[in-house]
Structure formats: structure tokens, C-alpha cells
Amino acid sequence: MALEHDVLVHIHVSETKQENEDCVKAHGVSPTRYLEQIGLLDARVLAAHCVHMSEEDLEILARHNVKVSHNPISNFKLVSGWFDYPAFRRHGLDVSVALDGVQSNNSFNLLSDLKTGILVQKTLHDDPTLLDAHEALKLITIDAARCLFREQDIGSLEAGKCADITFLDLSRAAMHPLHRESFRQVVSAVIYAANGADVSDVMVDGDFIYRNRTHVRLDRSAVIANATASSRQILENIGFFSE
């Protein structure tokens, strides 16, 4: 169906050791090799997690131009394992940083998750020069667009592309000293000091959906109230409050 309609396939792959062990037990091969065998990798694929990958798995992903979504905070919360960023880059694979789901992330703070992810990579590989601020920024901009196979219309500010822009308030003390004439220094400040609370405005395809720290298209209080009521109903149904 994905091939017929030319749509993106998003799938979680080798998130846990147990997943790998179960796949080998059931099919005799790794999840990545199995997906290749059944033809799924012939489509445009964005694979999330990819924590427990062999060299053969990485070669298969590269051969099929599979894109990869790294979800650091989710992997840490669920103790899934460590993502080996340099290994993916060695194989020429496009990697983005993402958030997974609210149940395994909670805050959905992309800038905070990105910072955590790159600091962990530096520590794991004992290399403070690994993943500098400029490369890190690409993981949530143009590289993320490549992972969605949409780099031709999103991911960077260029003529002819969608005007997708996140505006940051740089006035917070933690962002200073800030030398605006140095793009490199501004990017470093954003990567290492900014967080979701610094976002003042968000534009999608030229339209503001978040303006002056206020949601334009939804009632924030109503969304929170609905989420609280719905979650309470679910918890009551499973007897959570009676434990």
C-alpha cells in the first residue's frame, strides 16, 4: 500500500533487546533483516529508535535509504539502551532527534531532549567535539526534513520552501552573553541554553499557530481540562484510585 500510494512508513525498530531476541526466535533474523525480507524497506521508511543494531543491520538501512529517528529521553526513561550516533553517520544514514510519545517522554521539550541527547553522545564516545551545536541544530531542522523525505519544501529557510519558523525569546539571562554578529555563538546558545519555554511564536507554512506565547487555534485551558477528565476516566476504569 505504501508503494502504491507513495506514502511514508513509520515504524519502531530494535528499540529493546527483547524485541531483537523475540524476532530472532520467531524468524531467525534481526528485525531489520526481517523487514528487508518482507519487502517493507522497499518503501520510504522512517525507523524510530534503532538502538540495538548490528553492522549488518546498519548496512541494510543504508542500502534501502531508511531514515532514522533518535528519541533520547524515551530511550532513557524506558531504559531501552544507547543510540550509537557515529555508527549511523559512518554508514551515511540521515538521523533526526524526536520525542516519541507523551507516555515515554512527558515534557515534549525538543530543545531539552536534543541537548541531553548530544551530551550523552559526547560522553559515550569520550569526545567533546562530537556533535557540535551546528550539527545538532540540523538534527531538528534540515536533517529532520530529510528523514521525512521532505527536504525540498521544509527544514530550512529558503525561497520556495514553506515558511515554517520557530521564534525564540533570547532575553533570558541564561542565554547571555550573546553576540548576535556571530551565528556560531547564537546557535551554541540556543542548543545549550534554550528550552521550550523560550519559544515565543511558531509559524507553519506562513501562518502563526502560536503567537506571543498564546495558542492561536486552540483553547489551552479547555485542552488541559479535557485531558485531565479523560485520563481520570481511564484510571477509574482500571481501578487505579482504589489501589
Average pLDDT over residues 17-37: 98
**93 touches 55 (CB < 8 A):** no
Please report, rounded to a whole number, the percentage of residues in the chain having pLDDT higher than 70. 100
Correct CATH for 1-157 of 3.40.50.720, 3.30.9.10, 3.40.50.2300, 3.20.20.140: 3.20.20.140
Q: What is the pLDDT of residues 205-240, one digit of tens each?
A: 999 999 999 999 999 999 999 999 999 999 999 999
Average pLDDT, the chain: 96
In the chain, what are the domain boundaries? Answer: 1-157
Q: Omega into 86 within 30° of 0, i.e. cis?
A: no
Q: Is the pLDDT of residue 243 over 80?
A: no
Q: What is the pLDDT of residues 109-162, one digit of tens each?
A: 999 999 999 999 999 999 999 999 999 999 999 999 999 999 999 999 999 999
Average pLDDT over residues 161-183: 94
Residue 59 carries which side chain, given as an amino acid letter? E
Question: Quick one: how many helices (H) and strands (E) in the chain?
Answer: 11, 8
Q: Are strands 8-13 and 44-49 parallel, antiparallel or unpaired?
A: parallel
CA dihedral for 76, 80, 86, 92, sign (positive or negative): negative
Q: What is the pLDDT of residues 176-191, one digit of tens each?
A: 999 989 999 999 999 9
